[in-house]
Amino acid sequence: MKNITVLTGAGISAESGIRTFRDSDGLWENHRVEDVASPQGFAKNPVLVWDFYKARYQQSLDAEPNPAHYALTRLEEHFGDSFNLITQNVDGLHIRAGNTRVYEMHGRLAMAFCSSCRSKTATSELDFSQKIPICTTCGGNMRADIVWFGEIPYYLYEIDEILKNTDFLLILGTSGVVYPAAGFVMTAKIFGATTIAVNLEEPENRRYLDEFYPGKCGELVPQIVDKLIQNYGGR
């Protein structure tokens, strides 16, 4: 059984209606990044930051997984423990589509944690009538469980081990600009993986790709998944 690893970025979620900060109508358009996506911004104006993430959380609930998400669920069903999905997205659409082996390296909107005691709470359980949700354990300010600029992404050790042992790395809907995720293809390539990408535009790290398919993930990923299952799937 081949080891299959998937890395997803904003492009796959954009096809479900999730806005991306790199688009002209992106999330950060009316706010400086450091004001809404940094510990310093939260310390300066926590109400602004919470309003921002409440809107993103609601948007994630309104969005639905698209054919690319469901194709990746099918890929996990066929490859089982030989499948891993790493995502830079925080909308939870992969989990809603049915994937279970998911590493949400930038956190998830569905969770929040206390900025004082670090205890975690499901976002759905917070009291949004408060300007800033308060921790029921210690009374501190809650914040979205999102990795902000200047913070260390989750699961980096686990991801490194996965990349070193994968046979195929699929890179879907990412520009290849933002590190450390942009460097994952180099690690996988050094350790012998075949690297395949789908994106609307050619990614910055194109030279590390064996195959690149320009286009929409929702149209192309199901076809790639069919081929992988046909050639290497089955348990």
What is the CATH T-level fold of the domain 1-18+65-106+153-235, as seen in this structure?
Rossmann fold (3.40.50)
pLDDT digits (tens, 9 = 90+) for 146-194: 999 889 999 999 999 999 999 999 999 998 878 898 899 999 999 999 9
pLDDT digits (tens, 9 = 90+) for 14-37: 999 987 665 444 445 467 778 888
Burial grade of 54 (CB within 10 A; 0-12, 13-18, 19 or more):
middle
Which pLDDT score is estimated for 19? Answer: 76
Which amino acids are annotated catalytic?
106
Residues of the chain with CATH 3.30.1600.10: 19-62+112-146
Q: Which CATH architecture has domain 19-62+112-146?
A: 2-Layer Sandwich (3.30)
- pTM of the predicted protein model: 0.93
CA distance 130 to 194: 49
Could you tell me the two tokens for 74? 């099918």
Could you tell me the two tokens for 67? 């054919």
What lies within 8 Å, CB to CB, of 67 at 6+ separation is 218, 219, 221, 222
Which pLDDT score is estimated for 23? Answer: 47
Neighbours of 167 (CB within 10 A): 16
Length of the chain, in residues = 235
